Chain A
């Protein structure tokens, strides 16, 4: 199963890598912004249309 932790948008918490935030760039008709909502590292990314594979560093 592909999970959020493999996604470019996932930013884990420093003190607890199992939790983090899904941070995305959005442009709506009036403004551009970054949005963030809580995500878990092991959340299923299979059904997420915004999944982008994280580049290995």
Chain B
């Protein structure tokens, strides 16, 4: 928008037109406005990175340089790895943005994406083959990348792991038909032991002291007369502890580099006395943390940013499990309410900047990930609200400030996820409503009592730990505790579930990748009744889940030695105590889950087969098999019969809803047969990110009337777009029939509501009573899009004018213009539910 028009239009006018992004721009402070506009948008747009965003060659070069230098060193691998980590932190370029009060970034420069060349050669080749992401001059830097890639061939984590996986499983998984991602323990979602590291009791210096004590003690023990198995294990422990220490010391050093840079700017370049003061505050902050526990809000945020930056130097992290109001809230309270060293406005600036520092984070990812996460780099879903370990309401002033700041900075990532419980105050609920009404698509709502019970049911986490959960990725609760936190959830335990029903018709043969992937069930045409058909479905489900889980289990079992994480171990109590890498399954309780993409297609397809084939006998299975093989070509009438005349999930129709329950029941039973390396269960979690678009050309025609290429349904248990014809309460009633404690890990439900209907106090009351129904039905999740069709269609026509419109895609939000046309259409297609 032209500056003049922006100046002449009042906040109220923008709000009246529901142009919240312009209103936010006018309302936020100059600092926040500068920092918000300073973000290089890193989320891929329709699978491609935005112009100007480049792969960070510096980190890859530093990593490679140190790896080469240490090739002949006698150090254990974990020590070598820690030294590479330290070398990167000691030598990478760092920067401080004008007006910033918080520092620290994963890449070397603001427009770069961290690239870890040690993760996987297939990722490295993507860097080589993506000229749009290679820094200028492309020809020269492509040669640099070639050299780096050549060095790492056979040495990356995945290259090393491949030979020790079951090759058949691996090929099926890497075919891209049933799974998503690769089984790497340094690539996925890392929860953290925040109870150890973020409660102000200790920081890096104290941990280093503890490590020194451990090392001295055990070193002494192993050199006493005697020999036994424990002594053998102690050598590995000593190496692990040494490696942890190397990474923590490097963490303190890089913070000091930031402190020094801030002082150099203040003393040599900056003329504005106020900014000088800010720079000196940055210096003091970085001299304090992460070495020592924070004393105020700025230090607390800075400490967190450093930990995230370091963890993202060590591994490719695709998520951001955190609970910012819970862990930073006490500092907010101290600064704003008790000591009054910060005004609310100053605090809001810091909170907004804290969000921005996360929004800019990016690590170079392969194309399949970018396509599945259109518009964002990873699912930075921050958990707020909820209860403390004693069950008391944990909401605080920072809970509210985070939502207020989110409305001012309006980023698509991170998003907020609210742990609702019956004691949440009305003032907090109003903030949640306001964020959603202003079109952010977040916070989503999580039903805390249900999820605490769910977390205990599936993994046996004690109640005090279960209450401390944060989303590990989009939706899966994970305690932030010593034995409860899961250091790595690998994305490849993500099943493309539409293949389950597809394989029933192909006897497990996948026509897209041209290989036998599923179970060789009998020819579908031979099934005499629905029970036989359902038994084949169950076997295909079990087969697909098993392939994915076996690979993850293998990777997690080998991870402590082959792909250790000394930094993450260094901030984990269980590793400090035991000397074992934090990835070691023996010191974790287990919190694994299978993400079930494209789940509901199974339910609608099974219902259609049951009704039209076995009950109405309108078609035979042989006819249906042929129709699907032909992608319904020339059979439009038959296809529409399957679309219109078979019951569909989400209409409070027991016929199809019972099939959903039966499918979930089979999956839940099998979830207890599958075990992770900690010996715990593998429940399923139906949700999609934007996998429903990614898989559109991979999943063949289905009995719900879908054709190859059509977008799949958008949510974990959301009805198919436009197929929920009985209104919002019917959707909730269908979803409420599921037992959200024992039926699975969590269930994503997308709903579109009308922003016009929800205007004003009446709108809030309507939404509140809808939320009460949702909670009463025991549904664990719901999220909203409240942007009307007219705005979305205008954004399609005139994307330049609507750059800032945010939509809820699946477990995350994205700027509407950054997702593919197909995803945009899919969002518009979703039924707008009228409440009341």
- B90 interface residue per 8 A CB criterion: yes
Cβ of A31 within 8 Å of any chain B Cβ, yes or no, is yes
Q: Are B91 and A37 in contact (CB under 8 A)?
A: yes
Query: Which of B14-22, B33-41, B153-161, B292-300 is found at the contact surface with chain A?
Result: B33-41
The answer to the question of A21 belonging to the interface, with a C-beta cut-off of 8 Å to chain B, is yes
Q: How far is the CA of A42 from the CA of B524 in the complex (A)?
A: 76
Q: B37, B90, B98, B269: which contacts A38 (Cβ < 8 A)?
A: B90
A31 close to B94 (CB less than 8 A): no
Tell me which residues across on chain B come within 8 A of A23, comparing CB atoms.
Answer: 261, 264-265, 268
Interface presence of A32 (CB below 8 A): yes
14 contacts between A and B (CB under 8 A): A21-B264, A25-B269, A26-B95, A31-B34, A31-B98, A33-B96, A33-B97, A34-B95, A34-B265, A35-B94, A36-B257, A36-B261, A36-B264, A38-B90
Answer whether A30 and B265 are a contact pair too, CB < 8 Å, given A36-B93, A37-B94: no
Q: Of residues 67 to 102 in B, which have CB atoms within 8 Å of A's CB atoms?
A: 90-98
Give the complex CA separation of A8 and B512 in angstroms.
61
Looking at the assembled complex, report how far the CB atom of B89 sits from the nearest CB atom of chain A, in whole angstroms. 11
- Is A28's CB within 8 Å of the partner chain B? yes
**Are A31's CB and B91's CB within 8 A?**
no
B181 at the interface (CB under 8 A from A): no
Given contacts A21-B260, A30-B40, contact A38 B109 (CB under 8 A): no
A32 to B52, CA, bound (A): 15
Given the complex, which residues of B lie within 8 Å of A30, measured CB to CB? 37-40, 110-111
Chain A: minimal CB distance from B427 (Å): 35
Q: Is the interface of A mostly helix, strand, loop or mixed?
A: strand
Residue from A11, A29, A35, A38 within 8 A of B95 (CB atoms)? A35
- Assembled-state Cα–Cα distance A24/B97 (Å): 12
* Contacting residues, chain A, for B269 (C-beta < 8 A): 25, 34
Interface contact tally, CB-CB below 8 A: 60
User: In residues 226-277 of chain B, which contact A (Cβ within 8 Å)?
Assistant: 257, 260-261, 264-265, 268-269
Please report whether the interface of chain B is mostly helix, strand, loop or mixed according to DSSP: mixed
- The 8 Å CB contact of B52, one of A29, A34, A37, A38, is A29
- Chain A: minimal CB distance from B206 (Å): 25
CB <8 Å contact, B260 and A31: no
Cβ–Cβ < 8 Å partners of A29 in chain B: 52
Given contacts A21-B264, A23-B261, A23-B264, contact A31 B38 (CB under 8 A): yes
Alpha-carbon gap, A37 to B110, bound state (A): 14
Contact with B along A15-57 (1 / 0, CB 8 A): 0000001010110111111111110000000000000000000
In the bound complex, how far is the Cα of B108 from the Cα of A23, in angstroms? 14
What mask results when residues 95 to 123 of chain B are scored 1 for a CB within 8 Å of chain A, else 0?
Answer: 11110000000001111000000000000
Chain B residues with CB below 8 A from A26, complex form = 95, 109
Closest chain-B Cβ to A44's Cβ sits at a distance in Å of: 18
Q: Is the CB of B39 within 8 A of A34?
A: no
Q: Are B110 and A33 neighbours in the complex by a CB distance under 8 Å? A: yes
C-alpha gap A35/B39 in the complex (Å): 16
Complex interface: chain A residues within 8 A of B111 (CB): 28, 30
Residue of A nearest to B40 (CB): A30
Q: Which of A21, A28, A31, A32 has a CB less than 8 Å from the CB of B261?
A: A21
Task: State the CA gap A26–B34 with chains docked (Å).
Answer: 16
B110 and A28 contacting across the interface, CB-CB below 8 Å: yes
Among residues of B, the one whose C-beta sits closest to the C-beta of A35 is B95
- Say whether B98 contacts A33, CB under 8 Å: yes
How distant is the Cα of A31 from the Cα of B96 in the complex, in angstroms?
10
Residues of A contacting B109 in the complex (Cβ-Cβ under 8 angstroms)? 26, 28, 35
Docked complex Cα distance between A21 and B261 (Å): 8
Contact B95 A33 (CB under 8 A): yes
Residues of A within 8 A of B91 (CB): 37-38
How many A residues, CB 8 Å from partner? 16
Count of chain B residues near A, Cβ 8 A: 26
**What are the residues of chain A within 8 A of B37 when measuring CB–CB?**
30-31
Q: Report yes or no: B38 in contact with A36, Cβ–Cβ below 8 A.
A: no
Residues B93 and A37 in contact, CB atoms below 8 Å apart:
yes
The CA of A12 and the CA of B52, in the complex, are separated in Å by 33
Closest Cβ of chain B to A3, distance in Å, is: 19
- How many angstroms from the CA of A11 to the CA of B34 in the assembled complex? 28
Within the complex, the shortest CB–CB distance from B557 to chain A, in Å, comes to 39
Q: Pick the 4 closest A-B CB pairs, nearest first.
A: A31-B38, A37-B93, A35-B95, A36-B261
Name the contact of A37 in the complex, choosing from B34, B92, B268 (C-beta under 8 A): B92
Docked pose: A30 CA to B96 CA in angstroms: 14
Hey, what's the 0/1 contact readout for B25-53 against A, CB within 8 Å counting as 1? 00000000010011110000000000010
- Additional A-B contact list (16), CB under 8 Å, known A28-B111, A33-B97, A37-B94: A11-B268, A21-B257, A23-B264, A23-B265, A25-B269, A26-B95, A26-B109, A30-B111, A33-B95, A35-B94, A35-B109, A36-B257, A36-B260, A37-B92, A37-B93, A38-B90
A28 to B98, CA, bound (A): 12
**A28 — which chain B residues lie within 8 A by C-beta?**
109-111
| Complex Cα spacing A25 to B96, Å | 10
Write out the residue numbers on chain B whose beta carbons fall within 8 Å of the beta carbon of A21: 257, 260-261, 264
- Cβ A34 vs Cβ B261 within 8 A: yes
Which residue on A lies nearest to B109, using beta carbons?
Answer: A35
A7 to chain B, nearest CB (A): 13
Write out the residue numbers on chain A whose beta carbons fall within 8 Å of the beta carbon of B93: 35-37
> What is the minimal beta-carbon distance from B788 to any residue of chain A, in angstroms?
31
Among A11, A32, A35, A37, contact of B98 (Cβ-Cβ < 8 Å): A32
Query: Which of B37, B39, B94, B108 has the most chain A CB atoms inside 10 A of its CB?
Result: B94
CB <8 Å contact, A36 and B94: yes
**Which residues from chain A contact B257 at a C-beta distance below 8 Å?**
21, 36
User: In chain B, what residue has the closest Cβ to A37?
Assistant: B93
A31 touches B97 (CB 8 A): yes
Contacts of B96 in A (CB 8 A): 33-34
Most buried by A among B37, B95, B97, B108: B95
A49 to B305, CA, bound (A): 33
B97: chain A residues within 8 A (beta carbon): 31-33
Chain A's closest residue to B35 (CB) is A31
Measured CB to CB, the nearest residue on chain B to A29 is B52
**Alpha-carbon separation in the docked complex, A29 to B93 (Å):** 19
State the CA gap A48–B265 with chains docked (Å). 22
Across-interface contacts of B95 in A (CB, < 8 A) = 26, 33-36
Q: How far is it, in angstroms, between the C-alpha of A25 and the C-alpha of B264 when the chains are bound? A: 12
Distance in angstroms between the alpha carbons of A54 and B60 in the assembled complex: 32
Nearest Cβ in chain A — how far from B613, in angstroms? 58
Report the nearest B residue to A32, measured CB to CB: B98
In the complex the two chains form, what is the Cα distance from A21 to B260 in whole Å? 9
Q: Which residue of B lies closest to A23 (CB)?
A: B264
B-side contacts of A33, CB under 8 Å: 95-98, 110
Q: Which of A11, A25, A31, A36 has a CB less than 8 Å from the CB of B110?
A: A31
Which residues of the other chain, A, contact B110 by a CB distance below 8 angstroms? 28, 30-31, 33
Give Cα A28 to B111, complex, Å: 9
Task: Report how far A30 CA is from B40 CA in the complex, Å.
Answer: 7
B11 vs chain A, min Cβ distance (A): 25
Question: Across the interface, which residues of B come within 8 angstroms of A35, CB to CB?
Answer: 93-95, 109
| Cβ of B466 to closest chain A Cβ, rounded Å | 42
For the complex formed, measure the closest distance between the CB of B262 and the CB atoms of chain A, giving whole angstroms.
9
Q: How far does the alpha carbon of A35 sit from the alpha carbon of B109 in the complex, in Å?
A: 8
A21 to B91, CA, bound (A): 10
Q: Give the Cβ gap from B815 to chain A, nearest Cβ, in Å.
A: 16
Query: Which of A26, A28, A31, A38 has the most chain B CB atoms inside 10 A of its CB?
Result: A31
Closest to A31 in B: B38
- Residue in B closest to A11 when the chains form the complex, CB atoms: B264
User: How far is the CB of B86 from the nearest CB of chain A, in Å?
Assistant: 13
Residues of B within 8 A of A38 (CB): 90-91
- Shortest C-beta distance, A21 to chain B (Å), equals 7
Within the complex, what minimum Cβ distance (angstroms) separates B258 from chain A? 9
